[in-house]
């Protein structure tokens, strides 16, 4: 198992190219199950979750050829409709194959998912929606067994709560269904928008893209011709590296970024006193004399993303004053707090609310990553800690950050990947 050694107090400066979005790539890869042709996807990040999903498709009989940041996926050879536990247990997003396999083949078995330990993310919304579309679903021996021998039928689906993977799953299921499916209270995240845009360009009529009401006219089983496309930039990776510039008082420029997707995050940086220069595809953050405290409430897009909460908590430890962060989406997403406290952060928890008293002088120590975004918070804290911080269990980081050490080294961070026990 690997860990990272980061020397704090380095002077940062330079440019970072943002990779494609992991959270957009996963549903887009699952979407290839709906295609009759080989699909070329460009600007894919080289992260563990992508490799896991491609392995799952390979196990189902598809062929996947990876060339640097692009992949060619041919699902015409799929001859298996069971997504087994050994793959699905490592990544919750594997559930994204449920909708497309069921709508294409009329039956499937998908293991109940695993992944990050950040709280309950139930898939009952996915299953209830598929049942409304005519699927027969049972759960047996840890597997979701779904059948729709007559195909799925379009209908009106109202999600009780906004679900990103649920919206993506049902959009894909509806793509080959009979008739029109209306999803009310759909997720509006850019990653869902891109999925809808690619399907729309491939012959599936989708109205309301980017809104909370989607209307999908299915093809009644006709497979899609999907043209080559590029994955949108990763807004969470971009936000994380902006935090790296902010916490170290550095001027950092991001390229290959989509500022429109970062509205709520940019607003919080400005509240904290940072000046940002923004063009169509670049963002430069400038140091500020004083980091101001901030109040953050995580909510669904276009509000402040839960995936940036941990990084801003690390940044808030360096603000002059009291910051408040309220986590409204996941009940167990403050696991990084105890590790930040080990480094000297003054943070108190009350239910879903964290109070951060800044400014704290952080000290390097050994810390342990508990989930993907918590890991990046520890990296950020290490950048300003006195001494060398060892971050263990970084397989969490590898799930979502492409070439992390290389990108950090390019802007001046002293970071080394080492093997445990050596």
Q: Which residue in the block uniquely carries the two structure tokens 């598809």? A: 62
DSSP code, position 35:
B
Look up residue 143 and give its two tokens: 């597997």
Q: Kindly list the catalytic residues.
A: 116
Whole-angstrom distance, CA of residue 106 vs CA of residue 271: 51
How many Å apart are CA 365 and CA 385, to the nearest integer?
9
Give the phi and the psi of residue 20 in degrees, each rounded to 5: -65, 155
H or E stretch at 144: strand 143-147
Q: Is 354 helix (H, G, I), strand (E, B) or coil?
A: strand
Rounded to the nearest 10 degrees, how much is the dihedral formed by the CA atoms of 326, 330, 336, 340? 0
Contact predicate 63/77, CB 8 Å: yes
Q: Which two tokens stand for residue 155?
A: 């209908």
CA–CA distance, 389 with 143 (Å, rounded to integer): 41
- Here the tokens at position 129 are 């929606």
Alpha-carbon distance of 25 to 69, in angstroms, equals 11
Task: Tell me if 52 sits within 8 A of 266, measured CB to CB.
Answer: no
Tokens coding 108:
């499937």
Q: How far apart are CA 226 and CA 232, in angstroms?
A: 17
């Amino acid at each position: 198992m690997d860990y990272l050694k980061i020397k704090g107090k380095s002077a940062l400066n330079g440019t970072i190219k943002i990779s494609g979005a992991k959270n957009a790539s996963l549903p887009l890869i699952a979407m290839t199950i709906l295609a009759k042709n080989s699909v070329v996807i460009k600007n894919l990040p080289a992260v563990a979750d992508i490799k896991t999903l491609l392995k799952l498709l390979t196990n189902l009989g598809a062929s996947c050829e990876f060339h640097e940041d692009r992949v060619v996926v041919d699902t015409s050879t799929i001859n298996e409709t069971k997504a087994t536990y050994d793959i699905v247990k490592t990544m919750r997003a594997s559930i994204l194959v449920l909708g497309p396999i069921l709508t294409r083949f009329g039956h499937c078995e998908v293991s109940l998912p695993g992944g990050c330990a950040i709280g309950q993310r139930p898939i009952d919304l996915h299953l209830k929606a598929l049942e409304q579309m005519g699927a027969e679903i049972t759960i047996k021996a840890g597997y979701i067994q779904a059948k729709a021998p007559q195909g799925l039928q379009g209908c009106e689906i109202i999600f009780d709560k906004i679900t990103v993977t649920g919206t993506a799953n049902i959009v894909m299921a509806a793509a080959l269904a009979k008739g029109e499916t209306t999803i009310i209270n759909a997720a509006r995240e850019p990653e869902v928008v891109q999925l809808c845009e690619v399907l729309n360009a491939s012959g599936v009529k989708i109205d309301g893209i980017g809104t909370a009401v989607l209307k999908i006219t299915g093809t009644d089983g006709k497979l899609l011709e999907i043209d080559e496309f590029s994955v949108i930039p990763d807004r969470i990776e971009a936000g994380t590296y902006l935090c790296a510039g902010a916490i170290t008082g550095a001027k950092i420029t991001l390229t290959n970024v989509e500022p429109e997707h970062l509205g709520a995050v940019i607003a919080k940086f400005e509240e904290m006193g940072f000046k940002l220069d923004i063009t169509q595809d670049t963002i430069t953050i400038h140091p500020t004399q004083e980091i101001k405290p901030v109040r953050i409430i995580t909510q669904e897009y276009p509000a402040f993303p839960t995936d940036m909460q941990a990084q801003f908590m690390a940044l808030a430890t360096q603000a002059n004053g009291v910051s408040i962060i309220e986590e409204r989406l996941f009940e167990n997403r403050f696991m990084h707090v105890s590790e930040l406290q080990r480094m000297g952060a003054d943070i108190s928890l009350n239910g879903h609310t964290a109070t951060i008293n800044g400014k704290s002088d952080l000290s390097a120590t050994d810390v342990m990553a508990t989930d993907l975004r918590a890991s990046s918070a520890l990296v950020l804290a290490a950048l300003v800690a006195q001494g060398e911080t060892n971050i263990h269990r970084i397989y969490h980081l590898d799930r979502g950050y492409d070439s992390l050490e290389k990108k950090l080294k390019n802007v001046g961070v002293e970071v080394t990947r080492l093997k445990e026990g050596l």
